[in-house]
Amino acid sequence: MLNRNVKNRFIDEKTGIEYIKQGDYYLPNLVLAPEETNYKIGKYGRIKLNYLINHKKAEYTILFMESRLNRYLHEIDIACEERVKTIISQLVKQENVTEELKATNQMEWVGKMNSIRNRAEEIVYNEIIYV
């Protein structure tokens, strides 16, 4: 347990960090802020997390230390899902992929829809995830 005696405490004026004396040493009195929310993170949030850890370590560390990482990843996930849906609906109209095609030639419809979904995800990766 930390000694809460006022004589054994001081605050560094430069950083604002409080230090408490433990034996012969002054140790910083640091505590992690509790995570305010516990959002579920989906596919795009996990991809963004992996990207932050491997390529944007400073940004990841800041978000983590300020307890904003979970909310940020949740917002990224929602934004990506909405953007993918929008792009898919635009491409379906543009390429005339209809329910009639689905009824008459299911394999062609599946191939076109898979192609559209892959292109939409690639756009989202470049616009939102890998920036």
Q: Reduced to 3 DSSP states, what percent helix, strand and coil does the chain have, rounded to the nearest 5? A: 60, 10, 30
Tens of pLDDT, residue by residue over 59-113, are: 999 999 888 999 999 999 999 999 999 999 999 999 999 999 999 999 999 999 9
Tens of pLDDT, residue by residue over 3-49, are: 445 578 888 888 888 888 888 888 888 776 565 668 899 999 999 99
pLDDT of residue 62: 93
pLDDT of residue 122: 98
pLDDT of residue 130: 96
Q: Rounded to two decimals, what is the model's pTM?
A: 0.71
pLDDT of residue 53: 96
Residue 127 CB neighbour total at 10 angstroms:
13
Instruction: Give the three-class secondary structure for 22.
Output: strand
Residue 98 CB neighbour total at 10 angstroms:
12
Q: Residue 114 pLDDT > 90, yes or no? A: yes
